Chains A and B, each alone.
Chain A
Amino acid sequence: MLRYTLRRLVSLIIALAVASVVIFVAVEIVPGDPAAYMLGINARPDTVAALQAELGLDLPVHERYLAWVGGLVQGDFGTSYTYRTPIADIIGERLWVSLPLALYALILSTLIAFPAGILAATRRGSVADMLVMGITQLGVAIPNFWFAMLMVLVFAINLRWFSAGGFAGWEHGIAPGLKSLTLPAIALALPQASILARVMRSALLDTLSEDFIRTARAKGLTRRQTLWRHALRNALIPVLTIIGLQFSFLLAGAIIIENVFFLPGLGRLVFQAISQRDLIVVESVVMLLVFAVIIVNFAVDLAYAAVDPRLRRS
């Protein structure tokens, strides 16, 4: 187990190193100059130059890379060009939206997917199964941003149950914060739940056809008992994989939904930073996202080991 963990850690670090170079290069070749952008079209060349100097944009590329990475390893993300504040703070702000949103959506999708998947698998071929399969089929096919638009039309503009967007913030308490995250979370959760439910179903069906299920039945366990005591835990492994993937997706991939609902999340931060050529923010955020994804995958691998003793000693 230790060995396994260590090996994963090493490859993890290498991955991060490579990622940092890729990201930096990619971002550096984006055309457009932050200083010029900030000062607008009436700015005079010398003014722009002054600002560039102030931002350290006049330094050679490799120096900026080293400065950036050097900062990263000490947990210092650098300072935003546009906003002139520590990027760590900016990201912190946004994480308070993105993280809860991702978790909210993930919890929703799990709460929907597990029962649905189990129901479909145990009642295979039944009406319930058909229904679940049909709905999930649809759920996978609906573009979440379109679904979001329709929800805004119905629940915000017509019924006025929710505000059409924006984030109430946590300082007024949990409730308003959650309320403003509800529609987005649903929009994000729907396709995820559909996928998860289908995976759950097929994983369960596979497990239920295993020999040890037959053994359990021969012991005198009822179908239900067999399901809960033997099938579920074995079916969990593929499900875990998907959940891991989904979490990392939700963290970074919510850009479009964050846009539709005008949420100040990480995705929109990076999007906006790209458009403003706030390059160092882009670099740092993307790096952070990559890091998050890699960490999550790592966690998932460890979770496997928790579920499946066969993986504990490798």
Chain B
Amino acid sequence: MTLLRINGLGLEIHGTPILRDVSLEVARGGITGVIGESGSGKSLTAYSVMQLLPEGSAPRGEVLLDGRDIALLDEAALCRMRGNDVSMIFQEPMTALNPVRTIGDQVAETILIHAPRTSRRAARRRAAETLERVGLPGDQFPLSRYPHEMSGGQRQRVVIAMAIALRPKLLIADEPTTALDVTTQAQILDLLKGLVAEDGMGLMMITHDLAVVSDMADDIVIMKSGEVVEQGPARQIFGAMTHPYSRALMEASGHVPERAGAAADAPLLEVRDVIRDYPMARRHVLGPSRMFRAVDRVSFNLAKGESLGLVGESGCGKSTLTRAILGLDPIQGGEIRLGGEVVTAGHSVSREQRRKMQVVFQDPYGSFNPRHRVGRLVCEPFHLFDRQPRSDERDTALANALESVGLKADDANKYIHEFSGGQRQRIAIARALIIRPELIILDEAVSALDVSIRAQILDLLADLGDRFGLSYLFISHDLSVVRSITDRVMVMKSGRIVEAGETAQVFDTPAHAYTRSLIAAAPRLPDHAAAT
């Protein structure tokens, strides 16, 4: 029977319509997955349930919790409801906790707020129990811990603990795992599932990733630009998607671009026993400076025209390695050869070498100087030529680059803020492309994009790779992406490469335990769904 029913929910913020006639249900003890890309209004739907909407919000329709319309409650009543009947978990565990108060206080607070007569000791005892429940046993994680002393996963557990401390009827999870590594994500998802089962809570699971909910949700709601486009029992939904957007979404999540992938065996990039150490904070003023080894004797080859994947969880050293290869940071051991020549770090990297490689970064918003026009941005690599191209050469090159990434030549005169995230990544690729390098390093290049956009960019990369015979070093934490676009893949863990091989082989028959755990943890769409 239903715990939460949202009926014809509409929302305007400062007059701009955000939600239109959203209706959905969460059953007691049931899990409803709300899926949508950024801007689909899924999060605001959740916030309307909490009645924590930004200023200037004008909601319509009814939100019934146990048949009681919470839209009609006054602030006091709402405060009694929040954290008690309805709780919420947020996307960014790093910032969701008050940095200056201990986890114990913050969990106990939930209890004390709603049962003021509880003694502090009692509250703290319950806090300890709850933390235990979410997998933070008191002996390892005393109540006196501060958030900054814990990892993202652990913090997310604390947030969950605060949410479930009073065993609410309804738990709302807003992208609870998006910011986490796959393995952590899997653990958190299991935890949530477990809690729902134990306490018989209703769970409203909000995510952009179909796969995440595919194997846990009872019901699926798919939203697009403020509207519910499709909903129903999960099995049925994955069985037969009716709405074109749902299908597109479905298709995109499992997307595999076609690639010719003709890799010559002449090595373009050779990495030999590369070591990268960071100095760490000293214990004493005059104590010896301790070193942190971010990259530990890494070796590999990248053949011309090959697309090589490098997967690993955050902090495994893959970005550090990238910077070393780009010659941005010095290395403490081994050597890196590009086209046979040694890459030495710093400004001394020869321009010839730099001309051979370019890079595309993750963040489509941070990678451009907002004050320059696209033309100037894209042409920046020309700085690598001793003789600057004549303006007409430059313009044709620019036009070609932009068109080859699916933009128009006259976009060159626009400023970067006039483009969407996807377009910006295209521009980033154009910039990488304009001097026709042999190697392009893609550092999480598609991680920040919605699945549908991501699919397009992947296609583009595949296409460009074939057309210009480019080599890719494809760095990502997302296995599915790597799987879809690389010939070979390397798995990196705490500075070391633990496994490398043909992509298909690595994924189907992983040799290393870590690789196995990674693959196991990665959420997968039900096969029958992918088939359709």
Interface residues in chain A, defined as those with a beta carbon under 8 Å from any beta carbon in chain B: 3, 6-7, 10, 210-212, 214-222, 225, 229-230, 233-234, 307-310, 314
A6-B285, A220-B113, A225-B113 given; A230·B98 CB < 8 A: yes
A7-B285, A225-B113 given; A211·B96 CB < 8 A: yes
Nearest-CB distance from B168 to chain A (Å)? 10
Answer yes or no: B148 CB below 8 A from chain A CBs. yes
A220-B110, A234-B98 given; A309·B146 CB < 8 A: yes
Q: How far is the CA of A10 from the CA of B76 in the complex (A)?
A: 54
* B99–A310 CB distance below 8 A: yes
Residues of B within 8 A of A307 (CB): 100
Residues of B within 8 A of A229 (CB): 101, 109
Q: How far is the CA of A153 from the CA of B79 in the complex (A)?
A: 54
Residue of chain B at shortest CB distance from A125 = B55
* A230–B101 CB distance below 8 A: yes
Q: How far is the CA of A107 from the CA of B58 in the complex (A)?
A: 44
Residues of A within 8 A of B159 (CB): 215
Residue of chain A at shortest CB distance from B168 = A220
* A211–B162 CB distance below 8 A: no
* B79–A309 CB distance below 8 A: no
Answer yes or no: B193 CB below 8 A from chain A CBs. no
* B162–A219 CB distance below 8 A: yes
Within 8 A of A (CB), among B452-488: none
Most interface-central of A7, A219, A222 (chain B CB within 10 A): A219
Residues of A within 8 A of B87 (CB): 218-219
* A234–B90 CB distance below 8 A: no
Residue of chain A at shortest CB distance from B95 = A211
Cβ 8 A contact of A220, one of B83, B98, B281, B285: B83
* A218–B50 CB distance below 8 A: yes
Cβ 8 A contact of A218, one of B83, B95, B146: B83
Residues of B within 8 A of A7 (CB): 285
* A216–B148 CB distance below 8 A: no
Nearest-CB distance from A3 to chain B (Å)? 6
* B285–A10 CB distance below 8 A: yes
Answer yes or no: B192 CB below 8 A from chain A CBs. no
Residues of A within 8 A of B281 (CB): 3, 314
Residue of chain B at shortest CB distance from A10 = B285
Residues of A within 8 A of B363 (CB): none
Within 8 A of A (CB), among B169-189: none
Residues of B within 8 A of A210 (CB): 95
* B99–A215 CB distance below 8 A: no
A10-B285, A211-B92, A214-B90 given; A220·B100 CB < 8 A: no
Residue of chain A at shortest CB distance from B94 = A211
Residues of A within 8 A of B100 (CB): 233-234, 307-310
Answer yes or no: B387 CB below 8 A from chain A CBs. no
Residues of A within 8 A of B97 (CB): 212, 215
Interface string of B274-316 (1 = CB under 8 A from A): 0000000111110000000000000000000000000000000
Answer yes or no: B88 CB below 8 A from chain A CBs. yes
Residue of chain A at shortest CB distance from B107 = A219
Lowest 9 CB-CB distances: which A-B pairs, in order? Answer: A220-B83, A220-B82, A211-B95, A219-B83, A218-B88, A212-B98, A309-B146, A6-B285, A310-B148
25 CB contacts below 8 A, A to B, read: A3-B283, A3-B285, A6-B285, A210-B95, A212-B95, A212-B96, A214-B90, A215-B90, A215-B96, A215-B97, A217-B50, A219-B82, A219-B162, A220-B79, A220-B80, A222-B75, A222-B79, A225-B113, A229-B101, A230-B101, A234-B98, A309-B100, A309-B146, A309-B148, A314-B281
Answer yes or no: B84 CB below 8 A from chain A CBs. yes
Cβ 8 A contact of B113, one of A10, A221, A234, A308: A221
Instruction: Please give 20 more A-B residue pairs, beta carbons under 8 A apart, in addition to A211-B95, A229-B109.
Output: A6-B284, A210-B95, A215-B97, A217-B52, A217-B82, A218-B82, A218-B163, A219-B82, A219-B109, A219-B162, A220-B83, A220-B114, A221-B109, A225-B113, A230-B98, A234-B98, A234-B100, A308-B99, A309-B100, A309-B148
Residues of A within 8 A of B50 (CB): 217-218
Residues of A within 8 A of B80 (CB): 220
* B282–A218 CB distance below 8 A: no
Q: How far is the CA of A225 from the CA of B87 in the complex (A)?
A: 18
Nearest-CB distance from A230 to chain B (Å)? 5
Most interface-central of A220, A229, A307 (chain B CB within 10 A): A220
Q: How far is the CA of A214 from the CA of B47 in the complex (A)?
A: 10
Residue of chain B at shortest CB distance from A222 = B79
Residues of A within 8 A of B522 (CB): none
Q: How far is the CA of A10 from the CA of B113 in the complex (A)?
A: 46
Residue of chain A at shortest CB distance from B99 = A310
* A221–B79 CB distance below 8 A: yes
Most interface-central of A3, A7, A210 (chain B CB within 10 A): A3
Residue of chain B at shortest CB distance from A234 = B100
Answer yes or no: B70 CB below 8 A from chain A CBs. no
Most interface-central of B76, B81, B97 (chain A CB within 10 A): B97
Within 8 A of A (CB), among B58-117: 75-76, 79-84, 87-88, 90, 92, 95-101, 109-110, 113-114
Q: How far is the CA of A219 from the CA of B52 in the complex (A)?
A: 11
Q: How far is the CA of A233 from the CA of B102 in the complex (A)?
A: 13
* B146–A310 CB distance below 8 A: yes
Residues of A within 8 A of B92 (CB): 211
Residues of B within 8 A of A219 (CB): 82-83, 87, 109-110, 113, 162
Residue of chain A at shortest CB distance from B286 = A6
Nearest-CB distance from B123 to chain A (Å)? 13
Residue of chain A at shortest CB distance from B88 = A218
Residue of chain B at shortest CB distance from A218 = B88
* B52–A214 CB distance below 8 A: yes
Nearest-CB distance from A243 to chain B (Å)? 18
